[in-house]
Amino acid sequence: MAKKEKLTIAVLSGDLERALAAFMLAVTGASMDMEVSMFFTFWGLNIVKKNEGTMKSKGLMKKMLNMMNRGGSKRLKLSRFNMLGLGTWMMKDLMKQANMPSIDEYIAMAKDMGVELIACTTTCGVMGISPEKDSFRSEVGSLAGAAYFLSEARKSGVTLFI
Partner 1 sequence: MKADQTLDCIGLYCPIPIVKIATKIKDLKTGEILEVVGDDKGIKLDVPAWCQATGHELLGIEEQGGEIKVYVKKAPN
Write out the residues near partner 1 by the rule CB under 8 A: 1, 5, 24-25, 27-28, 30-34, 98-101, 109, 113
* Spacing of C-alpha 80 from chain mean position: 19
Q: What is the smallest separation between the CB atom of 3 and partner 1, expressed in angstroms?
A: 14
CB of 141 to partner 1, least distance (A): 20
In order of 30, 44, 59, 101, 102, the CA distances from 97 in angstroms are 25, 26, 44, 10, 11
How near is the Cβ of 32 to partner 1 at its closest, in Å? 4
By beta-carbon proximity to partner 1, the closer residue of 101 and 141 is: 101
CA pair distance 104, 122, nearest whole angstrom: 25
Map 25-50 to HEC letters. HHHHHHHCCCEEEEEECHHHHHHHEC
How far is Cα 117 from Cα 49, in angstroms, rounded to an integer?
12
CB of 113 to partner 1, least distance (A): 8
**Residue nearer to partner 1 on the CB measure, 85 or 114:** 114
For partner 1, the closer CB: 1 or 68: 1
The smaller minimum CB distance to partner 1, of residues 113 and 146, is found at 113
Helices 16-31 + 103-112 axis angle, to 10: 30
In whole angstroms, the minimum distance from the beta carbon of 100 to partner 1 comes to: 6
User: 3-class SS at 40?
Assistant: strand
Report the C-alpha gap between 77 and 88 in whole angstroms: 6
Residue 47, classed as helix, strand or coil, is helix
Closer CB to partner 1, residue 65 or residue 113?
113
